[in-house]
Amino acid sequence: MSKDINKSARIKLLISRIVVYGILIFLAFLCLFFFYLMIINSTRSNAQLKTGFTVIPGGHMLENFINAWNDGSINIPVGMKNSFIVSSMCAVLTTYFSALTAYGTYVYDFKYKSLVHIFILAIMMIPAQVSAVGFIQLAYKYNLTNKLWMLIIPSIAAPSVYFYMRQYLEATLPLEMVEAARIDGSSEFRIFNTIVLPIMKPAVAVQMIFSFVGSWNNYFMPALLLNKAEKKTVPIMIAQLRSADYSKFDMGKVYMLMLMAILPVMVIYIILSKSIIKGVTSGSVKG
């Protein structure tokens, strides 16, 4: 009797496992399928692309790459250089200054300390688009369009990164450590740079990745600010592909350009996926 129940329970478990793995494989397929098509199509010549659907590579990858790299209207090497400058500078500045600000409100006692903390939390949810109108107006007024630093400097004030850093400090930095360093005669600034920052390395690393990816993919603001060909970032160029007369294009080249646009982030993700996925949860909900 009990053996029968065991058996039926085991069959039930087996069936539900098959269903669950089926769903998981289907969703994983859905996530990879479109990117797989993109990679395959980036290896096919325009003529091959016109002949029909296939999942087999076409052998024209290098040719498409050379064509994409030397394209006359979409200057992807310059775009990638600009995107790289903006994204890496943003990643460094946003993490350093957020950590500094978080340290400032965590370790020191000053009059409006809790007010400052609450203020930063309150502004966290305000969408970037709300300041866009004034920002663009000022940029045109003072001739600051097409300046990459206009995209870089604002990253110093990043409320959500501050929030993450603050939580990390609360969890990891014993105040006795700061006190001990003071007794050793270290200056306040030196304590932060040589003792606190190394402790915050994991948090800094995670936020650097997210910040880099966020700036690399950012489209709204850069598109409003940059209109000179030599200053454009990658997402603007990709959107330009869409607005150009579609039929004129060598589609093999178009797929290659898209592949190049997402490749840097893909490489980062493949190497660091474990810590990125961990980072998704650690910063979002308090506690």
Partner 1 sequence: MSVKKVSGNKSVSYARYGYLFILPFFVVYAIFTLYPQMLTIYNSFFEYYRDGLTIVGPNFVGMKNYVALFTKNSSGYIPLFKFLGNTVWLWLLGAVPQFVIAMMLAIFFTSTRLNIRGQQFFKTVIYMPNLIMASAFSMLFFALFSQVGPINQLLVEMGVIDKAFNFLGVRVTVQSLIALMNFLMWFGNTTILLMAGIQGIDESLFESARLDGSNATQVFFNITMPLLMPIFIYVLITSMIGGIQMFDVPQVLTNGIGTPNNTSMTLIMYLNNFLGTSKNYGMAGAVSVLLFIITAILSTFVFKTINKK
> Hey, what amino acid is at 51?
T
Binding residue for partner 1, selected from 66, 153, 267, 271, defined by CB under 8 A: 153
Give the nearest distance from C-beta 71 to partner 1 in angstroms.
15
Q: Which is nearer to partner 1, 5 or 125 (CB)?
A: 125
| Distance (Å, whole) CA 45 – CA 249 | 12
The reply to whether 206 sits near partner 1 by the rule CB under 8 A is: no
Give the nearest distance from C-beta 52 to partner 1 in angstroms.
5
Q: Euclidean distance between the first and final Cα of the chain, in Å?
A: 47
Site string for partner 1, 26-65 (x = CB under 8 A): -xx-xxx-xx-xx--x-------xx-xx------------
Site string for partner 1, 165-204 (x = CB under 8 A): ----------xx--x--------x---x------------
Whole-Å CA distances, 175 to 34, 106, 157, 200, 286: 50, 9, 25, 14, 21
Q: Which sign, positive or negative, has the C-alpha torsion 171, 174, 200, 178?
A: positive
201-217 and 251-282 helices, crossing angle to 10°:
150
Q: Which is nearer to partner 1, 3 or 34 (CB)?
A: 34
> Hey, what amino acid is at 179?
E
Positions 215 through 234 that interact with partner 1 (CB under 8 A): 216-217, 219-220, 224, 234
| Distance (Å, whole) CA 227 – CA 158 | 25
Give the nearest distance from C-beta 85 to partner 1 in angstroms.
17
Positions 265 through 284 that interact with partner 1 (CB under 8 A): 265-266, 269, 273-274, 276-277, 280-281, 284
**Assigned token pair, 114:** 């809790």
Per the CB < 8 A criterion, the answer to whether 237 and 74 are in contact is yes
